[in-house]
C-alpha cells in the first residue's frame, strides 16, 4: 500500500472539490449541519485553501489514485491547523488517514502543535485522532444543532 501526499495546485481544485462533496455528503445528510459541512462549500473555497499563503491542500494518493485531501495552514511558524481532511468513502477504514497524518507531520517538522475539529458523534473520527496522539480539549465544545457537536483536538509535539 503506497500512500503519499502531493501539494495541490489550482488544476486539482475540481477533483478535490468532487471528493470533498462525496466524502462529506453522508455527514451532511445525517447531521443537517448546512452552515458548516464542507459538502456545502463551493469550489471557490477549495481554491482559496489551495492558494492560502500560510498553507494549502495536499492530495492524498493511494497507489497513485487521488482518494482524498488534507488542508493544513499555520497560524504561527509552529502552530498548525488541519481543516478539512477527507477520504472517499470507499477508501475509508484502510489506514490511509493515519498514514496521511504521519506524512503531513513529517512535512512540517517545525510544528509544535497540531489542531483540528471534528463532530463528537462521529466516533470513528474521534478514535482516529486520539490514536494519533490528539487530545480533546474538554473546555471547548460547540453545538452545531440538536444532532451534532463540534469538538476541538490538539496534539503537542516534543522534539
Evaluate if residue 159 carries a pLDDT over 70: no
Residues 102-144: tens digit of each pLDDT: 999 999 999 999 999 999 999 999 999 999 999 999 999 999 9
Contacts 24+ apart (CB under 8 A), 70-79: 70/5, 70/100, 70/101, 70/104, 72/104, 72/108, 73/49, 74/108, 74/111, 77/110, 78/110, 78/111, 78/112, 78/113, 79/111, 79/112, 79/113, 79/115
Residues 24-58: tens digit of each pLDDT: 999 999 999 999 999 999 999 999 999 999 999 99
Cα dihedral: 124, 129, 131, 135 (round 10): -120
What CATH class does 3-156 carry?
alpha beta
Evaluate if residue 76 carries a pLDDT over 90: no
Evaluate if residue 82 carries a pLDDT over 80: yes
Q: What is the pLDDT of residue 120?
A: 97
pTM summary value: 0.95
Give the residue ranges of DSSP H helices in 13-159.
13-31, 43-50, 96-107, 123-131
Crossing angle of helices 43-50/13-31, nearest 10°?
Answer: 120
Domain residue ranges of the chain, discontinuous segments joined by +: 3-156
Amino acid at each position: 500500500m503506497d500512500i503519499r501526499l502531493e501539494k495541490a495546485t489550482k488544476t486539482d481544485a475540481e477533483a478535490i472539490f468532487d471528493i470533498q462533496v462525496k466524502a462529506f455528503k453522508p455527514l451532511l445528510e445525517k447531521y443537517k449541519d448546512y452552515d458548516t459541512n464542507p459538502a456545502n462549500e463551493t469550489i471557490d473555497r477549495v481554491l482559496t485553501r489551495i492558494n492560502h499563503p500560510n498553507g494549502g491542500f495536499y492530495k492524498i494518493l493511494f497507489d497513485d489514485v487521488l482518494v482524498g485531501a488534507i488542508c493544513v495552514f499555520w497560524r504561527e511558524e509552529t502552530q498548525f491547523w488541519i481543516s478539512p481532511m477527507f477520504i472517499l468513502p470507499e477508501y475509508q477504514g484502510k489506514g490511509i488517514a493515519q498514514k496521511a497524518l504521519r506524512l503531513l507531520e513529517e512535512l512540517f517538522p517545525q510544528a509544535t502543535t497540531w489542531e483540528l475539529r471534528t463532530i463528537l458523534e462521529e466516533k470513528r473520527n474521534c478514535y482516529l485522532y486520539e490514536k494519533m496522539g490528539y487530545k480533546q480539549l474538554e473546555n471547548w465544545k460547540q453545538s452545531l444543532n440538536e444532532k451534532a457537536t463540534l469538538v476541538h483536538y490538539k496534539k503537542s509535539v516534543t522534539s
